[in-house]
């Protein structure tokens, strides 16, 4: 407004000078100089204070997309929003004026462009991110009598769903996630399966299996709060003895088929802390550890979290 009024007054004086030849040239020159000095100030004002960065730069199915948002001088205390399709993902503060949302991708989705709408501080930015395809191997599993066709109990499903739905604002983890068991990886993330000759539609291996020896230690891959402890005796038929850890900000881990549990719900654990032992409880063909990593309720590949710091 000040710049516009200043320019308007100068224009009026310039017009007047063409009629009144007695107007001093000095006044005209001063107006011209004032206009050129004022306009750069207006042009220098920030045009777009909503800055967005998405990583990784070349994501593939199974990756976790990190959407970081920088707000210059936030006008209110409300967090920005990140929407894709019909879903809106929560954002959490990770630094002053800086927020982040995690967007999971899975093997059941199609590769292609993901469109995002980021809103914050009264501004909106639309982004398009290309998610590349990824081939997942197919595996055939034959469950022995008594294991085939095992159905999860309603209680089991309810407790596990509650774990995966957690969106605790506090961020517990810091730095790289570590291996929860020293055994070799026997089954990678995303494998499609036939169970006893029948293809499991809409199924993919939601985690990584470690072929650790029975009784070998299972440790927390990152800091967090123990949000789930379940046992076969409580009705955990498929998961077996299980521990779930809330790492915060929509990130959770689940550890299945344990022979022993060393923590209780509510415990705060550190990376590398003992939480249980490898077993073969629940729907399992032999001793191994299943580690599943979930982001906003969807199973993502844990491997990138072990190789690239997500802070």
- What parts of the chain have a pLDDT lower than 70? 1-49, 73-77, 146-149
Taking the C-alpha atoms of residue 242 and residue 228, their distance in angstroms, rounded to an integer, is 8
**Which pLDDT score, from 0 to 100, does residue 36 have?**
37
**Which pLDDT score, from 0 to 100, does residue 237 have?**
95
**Which pLDDT score, from 0 to 100, does residue 32 have?**
40
- The closest of 221, 201, 199 to 210, measured between CA atoms, is 221
**Which pLDDT score, from 0 to 100, does residue 178 have?**
98
Phi-psi region of 208 (alpha: psi -120 to 50; beta: other; left: phi over 0): beta
Token pair for 262? 């060393």
* Residues 220-265 pLDDT 10s: 999 999 999 999 999 999 999 999 999 999 999 999 999 999 999 9
**Which pLDDT score, from 0 to 100, does residue 76 have?**
66
| Average model confidence (pLDDT) across the chain | 85
Which residue(s) pair with 126 in the sheet? 117
**Which pLDDT score, from 0 to 100, does residue 75 have?**
63
Inter-CA distances, 310 with 17, 50, 116, 177, Å? 65, 22, 20, 9
**Which pLDDT score, from 0 to 100, does residue 22 have?**
41
In our burial notation (b when 16+ CB lie closer than 10 A, e otherwise), range 6-25 reads bbeebeeeeeebeeeeeeee
**Which pLDDT score, from 0 to 100, does residue 309 have?**
85
Taking the C-alpha atoms of residue 257 and residue 281, their distance in angstroms, rounded to an integer, is 4
Phi, psi angles (nearest 5°) of residue 175: 85, -165
């Amino acid at each position: 407004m000040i710049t516009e009024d200043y320019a308007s007054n100068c224009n009026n004086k310039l017009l007047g000078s063409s009629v009144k030849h007695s107007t001093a040239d000095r006044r005209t020159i001063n107006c011209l100089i004032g206009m050129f000095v004022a306009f750069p100030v207006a042009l220098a004002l920030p045009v777009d204070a909503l800055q967005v960065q998405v990583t990784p730069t070349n994501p593939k199915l199974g990756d976790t997309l990190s959407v970081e948002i920088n707000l210059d001088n936030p006008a209110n205390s409300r967090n920005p929003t990140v929407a894709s399709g019909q879903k809106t993902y929560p954002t959490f503060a990770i630094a002053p004026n800086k927020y982040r949302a995690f967007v999971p991708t899975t093997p059941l989705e199609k590769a292609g462009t993901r469109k995002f709408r980021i809103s914050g501080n009264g501004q909106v930015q639309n982004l398009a991110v290309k998610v590349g395809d990824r081939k997942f191997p197919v595996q055939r599993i034959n469950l022995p009598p008594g294991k085939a066709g095992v159905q999860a109990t309603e209680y089991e499903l309810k407790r596990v769903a509650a774990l995966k739905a957690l969106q605790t604002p506090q961020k517990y983890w810091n730095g790289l996630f570590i291996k929860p068991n020293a055994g070799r990886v026997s089954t990678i993330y995303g494998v499609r399966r036939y169970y006893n000759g029948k293809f499991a539609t809409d199924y993919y291996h939601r985690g990584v299996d470690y072929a650790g020896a029975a009784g070998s230690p299972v440790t927390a891959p990152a800091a967090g709060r123990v949000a789930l402890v379940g046992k076969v005796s409580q009705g955990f038929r498929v998961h077996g003895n299980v521990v779930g850890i809330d790492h915060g900000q929509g990130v959770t881990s689940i550890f299945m088929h344990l022979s022993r549990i060393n923590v209780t719900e509510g415990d705060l654990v550190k990376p590398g802390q003992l939480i249980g032992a490898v077993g073969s409880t629940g729907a399992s063909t032999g001793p191994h550890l299943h580690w599943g990593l979930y982001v906003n309720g969807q199973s993502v590949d844990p491997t990138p979290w072990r190789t690239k710091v997500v802070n």
